[in-house]
Amino acid sequence: MKRCYYETLECQKGATVEILKTSYRKLAMQFHPDRNPGDATAEGKFKEINEAYDVLKDDQKRAAYDRFGHAAFEAGMGARAGAGGNPFDFAGSFSDVFEDFFGDLMGGERKTRRGNRGQDLRYNLSISLEDAFRGRNAEIKVPTTVACETCHGSGSEPGHNPETCTTCSGHGKVRASKGFFTIERSCGACRGSGKIIRHPCKTCRGAGAVQKDRLLNVDVPPGVEEGTRIRLSGEGAAGLGGGPSGDLYIFLSVEEHPIFQRDAHDLHCRAPVSFVTAALGGSVEVPTLDGGRAKVAIPEGAQSGRQFRLKDKGMPVLRSSQRGDLYIEVAVETPVKLTKRQKELLREFESGSQAGTHPEAEGFLARLKEFWNGGDPA
């Protein structure tokens, strides 16, 4: 169940635009994602507040909401907010919040905006670590609202024309006197459009606009990280009544890699090394994320967990020519499936080993003795 927009903004149903705005600003400040990083509840609240204010600040939308409730917007919202792997979501009108704040802080002189700015959209794009390394040009499909081709945006069946609304004489607004005041509000009969459509176009059901996928190229630069946002200015939802389009935010997520683990700009890779190589020294070949190979020299007596750094073989740093490093961690492997002969050789090896052959085990044993004796004063 969706909360009532007035409840969301903690206002009465008849609240003036000023009251709504004051309350909206207070709540938007309180629940803004920048102030509540990682708090999903606050983020949800922030979206709710934005959505409620977006509707109630607008005469036309408010009139529609007062009359039809949430149902007034469901057709439009459901198309995008639906589940089922749809990567789209409303990002909330971030810029709107800040424009409002700054407009006021700068001491008035607000630019008068024609119409309503379209909503910001969010697109979740998942890329591989290789893509994050090299950068990539991704083609995405963005659903947008375009004028209906059948009726050329009029909303009426071809051959019919929308009629002028008789309630408001085509003004879209009606006046009502209440005591000393004359209140102008959006006309309910035509929902503020000034026109009545008697024969709705079958293609767009009278809306005058249809949803269409648009292909967009997104340039993902090398070095992006989980959560990096790319803003495509003006590629969000179309504005209403001649207003500018919203922005499209690409939210990136980087998939796990089977070989490399990322730590900011550095990469980590575990390289299994045979115990013979670890004991006698040698070299191992390791992969690099650019698809190449690198040789790492293993010194005599290398232990498990020892790290070797390959400078500048890590991730590129976003918008810079710098590179992180690649760390290779040695993992000494205990051999399995030994033949009888191999086992004999190992037993021979064991009997021949002297003090200092296994420094860690010897050190551990020494510490154990101390611990047990220390715990028992006898």
Q: Report the interface residues with Zn ion, using CB under 5 A.
A: 148, 150-151, 165, 167-168, 187, 189-190, 201, 203-204
CB of 101 to Zn ion, least distance (A): 35
Written as six digits, the tokens of 127 are 């890329």
Rounded to whole angstroms, the Cα distance separating 305 from 271 reads 10
Looking at the Cβ atoms of 22 and 150, the one nearer to Zn ion is 150
Looking at the Cβ atoms of 168 and 278, the one nearer to Zn ion is 168
CB of 167 to Zn ion, least distance (A): 4
Looking at the Cβ atoms of 124 and 203, the one nearer to Zn ion is 203
CB of 189 to Zn ion, least distance (A): 5
In the block, tokens 């993992």 appear at 331
CB of 75 to Zn ion, least distance (A): 14
**Which candidate, 58, 51, 36, places its Cα nearest to that of 4?**
51
**Which candidate, 340, 348, 374, 324, places its Cα nearest to that of 132?**
324
Rounded to whole angstroms, the Cα distance separating 66 from 6 reads 10
Looking at the Cβ atoms of 132 and 207, the one nearer to Zn ion is 207
Burial bucket for residue 376 (CB in 10 Å: 0-12, 13-18, 19+): exposed
CB of 213 to Zn ion, least distance (A): 18
- The residues pairing with 145 across neighbouring beta strands, listed in sequence order, are 211
Rounded to whole angstroms, the Cα distance separating 72 from 65 reads 6
Looking at the Cβ atoms of 203 and 288, the one nearer to Zn ion is 203
**Which candidate, 333, 212, 340, places its Cα nearest to that of 277?**
333
